């Protein structure tokens, strides 16, 4: 039997929206992939991954490991050349106790990195951070375009951006403190608001907004916006950050120009309203949003972002990784189209 020479890549949080696309991207490029999941007990959570691997004739193995426990991480990284650390809690609402997010995000990153340091095989880790670790909590410079030189201010942040900022900081500190014999490289991807095709019937946190618009769960569009990026382009960025030598020691923002929810709704309305959907395109006044927020925790979270523009630059990723973004219209339409295909949004 021929010796297996294709590098083995560990992708953490394989059940997740972004990780699924990372796995597909790696398999398409001939890598062998091992994915971690919290539990293998429910085969439904991973059947889309097995289907993709089989369609591509790729090598995919799934193992159990939880960010909150040491168990399984050493075995998970064994023999891997690269690790894409994608797993981190990303709930749609602010938890009662911020440690529900910060604990697994920071503790989990350290566990994964410690296993890499101990492995003797891992050359580079690519970690999924977020623009939430770059552009949040700044009291000054409103309207400034944020770059990789910026860090969110955790003291001024909700649990999620705080968890992403502290986890990314912990990762950089961890690798900086490694003795030479255990050293490996770190690169970080900071995606914006991720849109694009669903691989299974779990719309995830970022898809929830598109779902709400498609089923008219909101009567109008809140005046909030974000810097969008396609999940397929995020997966490509992870692969490039793994392959491009210059990426070592760098963080890369991957996100496009600011997009208001209302502009996203208009794209959906043009495409789907002629097919029987009733995507709202009006603007939700602040006072009405405030009333909705009393009953909906996700709206309560969104209140803090009203009127705020997410201005970030992906110039560094474009320059150093050769990374490009597909048009945002394509990402918006593909999100909704696959939601209909997966039954997340009823077919009309």
* Minimum separation from the CB atom of position 1 to ligand NDP (A): 33
* Minimum separation from the CB atom of position 38 to ligand NDP (A): 4
| Per-residue interface string for the shown chain with ligand NDP, residues 226-255, x marking contact by CB under 6 A | ------------------------------
The β-bridge relationship of strands 225-226 and 259-260 is: antiparallel
Cα end-to-end span (Å), the chain: 52
Residues 6+ apart with CB under 8 A from 260: 221, 223, 224, 225
Q: Which is nearer to ligand NDP, 108 or 197 (CB)?
A: 108
Closest CA to 243 of 57, 128, 121, 81: 81
Could you please report the per-residue DSSP string of 13-82? Answer: STTSHHHHHHHHHHHHTT-EEEEEES-SS-GGGTHHHHHHHHHHT--EEEEE--TT-STTHHHHHTT-SE
- Residues paired with 81 in a beta bridge: none
Handedness of CA 170, 173, 175, 178 (dihedral sign): negative
| Contact positions with ligand NDP (CB under 6 A) in 111-140 | 128, 130
Handedness of CA 120, 123, 127, 133 (dihedral sign): positive
Torsion angle of the four alpha carbons 199, 202, 206, 208, in this order, in degrees rounded to the nearest 10: 130
| Per-residue interface string for the shown chain with ligand NDP, residues 51-80, x marking contact by CB under 6 A | ---------------xxx------------
Number of residues that bind ligand NDP (CB under 6 A): 26
Q: Which is nearer to ligand NDP, 14 or 221 (CB)?
A: 14
* Minimum separation from the CB atom of position 237 to ligand NDP (A): 11
Contact 284, 115 (CB under 8 A): no
104 binds ligand NDP (CB under 6 A): yes
* Minimum separation from the CB atom of position 211 to ligand NDP (A): 13
35 binds ligand NDP (CB under 6 A): no
| Contact positions with ligand NDP (CB under 6 A) in 322-341 | none
* Minimum separation from the CB atom of position 276 to ligand NDP (A): 28
18 binds ligand NDP (CB under 6 A): yes
Taking CB under 6 A as the criterion, the residue among 138, 151, 204, 318 binding ligand NDP is 204
Taking CB under 6 A as the criterion, the residue among 11, 13, 46, 242 binding ligand NDP is 13
Tell me the C-alpha distance between 281 and 109, whole Å.
40
Tell me the C-alpha distance between 22 and 26, whole Å.
6
| Contact positions with ligand NDP (CB under 6 A) in 163-182 | 164
Q: How many CB atoms lie within 10 A of CB 261?
A: 25
Q: Which is nearer to ligand NDP, 18 or 267 (CB)?
A: 18
* Minimum separation from the CB atom of position 17 to ligand NDP (A): 4
| Contact positions with ligand NDP (CB under 6 A) in 284-323 | none
Interface residues toward ligand NDP, by CB under 6 A: 13, 15-19, 38, 66-68, 86-90, 104, 108, 128, 130, 164, 191, 193-194, 204-206
């Amino acid at each position: 039997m021929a010796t297996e020479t294709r590098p083995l890549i560990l992708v953490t949080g394989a059940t997740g929206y972004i990780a699924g696309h990372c796995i597909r991207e790696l398999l398409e490029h001939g890598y062998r992939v091992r994915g971690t999941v919290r539990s293998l007990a429910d085969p439904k959570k991973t059947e889309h991954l097995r289907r993709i691997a089989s369609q591509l004739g790729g090598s995919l193995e799934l193992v159990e490991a939880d960010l909150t426990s040491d168990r399984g991480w050493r075995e998970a990284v064994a023999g891997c050349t690269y690790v894409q650390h994608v797993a981190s809690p990303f709930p749609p609402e602010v938890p009662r106790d911020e440690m529900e997010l910060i604990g697994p995000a920071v503790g989990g990153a350290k566990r994964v990195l410690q296993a890499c340091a101990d492995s003797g095989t891992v050359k580079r880790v690519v970690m999924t951070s977020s623009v939430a670790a770059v552009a949040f909590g700044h009291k000054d410079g409103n309207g400034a375009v944020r770059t990789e030189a910026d860090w969110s201010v955790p003291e001024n942040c909700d649990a999620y951006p705080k968890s992403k900022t502290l986890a990314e900081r912990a990762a950089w500190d961890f690798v900086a403190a490694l003795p030479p014999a255990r050293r490996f490289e770190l690169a970080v991807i900071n995606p914006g608001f991720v849109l694009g095709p669903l691989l299974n019937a779990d719309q995830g946190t970022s898809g929830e907004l598109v779902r709400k618009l498609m089923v008219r769960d909101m009567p109008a569009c809140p005046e909030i916006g974000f810097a969008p990026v396609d999940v397929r382009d995020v997966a490509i960025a992870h692969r490039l950050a793994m392959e491009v030598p210059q990426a070592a020691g760098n963080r890369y923002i991957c996100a496009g120009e600011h997009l208001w929810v209302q502009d996203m709704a208009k794209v959906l309305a043009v495409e789907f309203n002629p097919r029987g959907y009733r995507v709202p395109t009006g603007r939700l006044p602040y006072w009405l949003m405030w009333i909705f927020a009393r009953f909906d925790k996700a709206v309560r979270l969104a209140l803090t972002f009203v009127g705020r523009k997410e201005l970030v630059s992906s110039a560094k990723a474009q320059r150093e990784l050769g990374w490009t973004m597909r048009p945002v219209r394509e990402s918006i339409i593909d999100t909704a189209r696959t939601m209909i295909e997966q039954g997340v949004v009823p077919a009309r």
